[in-house]
């Protein structure tokens, strides 16, 4: 336990793998199949369980429960499933995160530099990219995917199997039942597209030319009255090569639940 700061009331299984600089607060529990990276700080009254790996420099605040069994009726309890959390994530008070299920690929994966705010929930088999934000009490159902830099407003529910595209933002108290396009701003019950995420694109230092092309693509997709197939054909014909527009088109083509209107 050298270089560790473990409160005397914390319960840490002797098989748990703790790296140097780990701090564990009062009354927290860390089970035996857990691996915790350098410099991770775990607050008081937390539970870290299951086959969970946490990358270096994550901060887990009081009352969070990380790695507990999925809330899925099909889960048998003896499945060999995992939760992988990357580096530099902030997991605030009373957040709950579940591992994967055998039927869903076996793992929940969270990338780096994410902010997961109070009472948020990340369910089984979710894939969360890098630099995402879940505001207070945001809830991801099973099999949800967030691409990099996605933002979910507080008290928002995301339906299972829904995808949120890169640099998209969903307003608070929304109901999301279909895919959220990359670079979009969405809101409502159910959520609808209101335009591009101008502030997010600016902060990401997109060029004016790229932003202009994205705006034109959105106008054709959501403002022309054309079917998605016809709109995509028109975009490919008129806008020329642009990696961001190509990503937007690919995202829409790959949608299984449909894209917000």
Out of 43, 100, 142, 165, pick the active-site residue. 142
Bridge pairing between strands 115-116 and 133-134: parallel
- Is residue 3 annotated as part of the catalytic site, yes or no? no
DSSP H or E segment with residue 251: helix 243-253
How many Cα atoms occupy the beta-carbon half-sphere of 165 within 13 Å? 29
DSSP H or E segment with residue 212: helix 208-223
Kindly state the DSSP code that residue 26 receives in the 8-state scheme: T
Of 70, 78, 173, nearest to 122 by C-alpha is 70
- Is residue 258 annotated as part of the catalytic site, yes or no? no
Out of 45, 124, 143, 159, pick the active-site residue. 124
| Four-CA torsion 245, 248, 250, 251, nearest 10 degrees | 170
Cα–Cα distance for residue pair 197/80, rounded to 1 Å: 39
CB atoms within 10 A of CB 99: 28
How many Cα atoms occupy the beta-carbon half-sphere of 170 within 13 Å? 39
- Is residue 124 annotated as part of the catalytic site, yes or no? yes
Out of 31, 72, 112, 125, pick the active-site residue. 125
- List C-alpha distances in Å: 136 to 133, 151, 172, 208, 223: 10, 12, 9, 33, 32
Q: Which of the residues are catalytic?
A: 124-125, 142
């Amino acid at each position: 336990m050298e270089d560790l700061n473990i409160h005397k009331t914390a319960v840490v299984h002797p098989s748990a793998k703790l790296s140097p600089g780990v701090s564990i607060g009062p009354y927290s529990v860390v089970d035996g199949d857990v691996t915790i990276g350098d410099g991770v700080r775990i607050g008081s009254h937390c539970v870290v369980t299951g086959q969970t790996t946490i990358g270096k420099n994550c901060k887990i605040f009081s009352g969070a429960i990380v790695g507990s069994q999925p809330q899925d009726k099909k889960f048998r309890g003896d499945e060999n499933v995992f939760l992988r959390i990357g580096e530099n994530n902030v997991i605030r008070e009373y957040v709950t995160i579940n591992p994967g299920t055998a039927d869903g690929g076996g793992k929940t994966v969270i990338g780096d530099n994410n902010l997961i705010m109070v009472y948020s929930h990340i369910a089984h088999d979710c894939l969360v990219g890098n630099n995402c934000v879940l505001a207070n009490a945001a809830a991801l159902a099973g099999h949800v995917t967030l691409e990099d830099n996605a933002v979910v407003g507080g008290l928002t529910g995301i339906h299972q199997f829904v995808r949120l595209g890169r640099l998209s933002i969903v307003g608070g108290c929304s109901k999301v039942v279909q895919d959220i396009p990359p670079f979009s701003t969405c809101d409502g019950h159910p959520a609808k597209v209101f335009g591009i995420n101008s502030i997010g694109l600016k902060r990401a230092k997109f060029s004016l030319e790229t932003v202009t092309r994205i705006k034109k693509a959105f106008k054709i997709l959501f403002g022309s009255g054309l079917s998605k197939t016809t709109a995509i054909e028109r975009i490919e014909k008129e806008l020329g090569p642009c990696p961001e527009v190509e990503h937007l088109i690919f995202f829409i083509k790959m949608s299984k639940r449909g894209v917000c209107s």
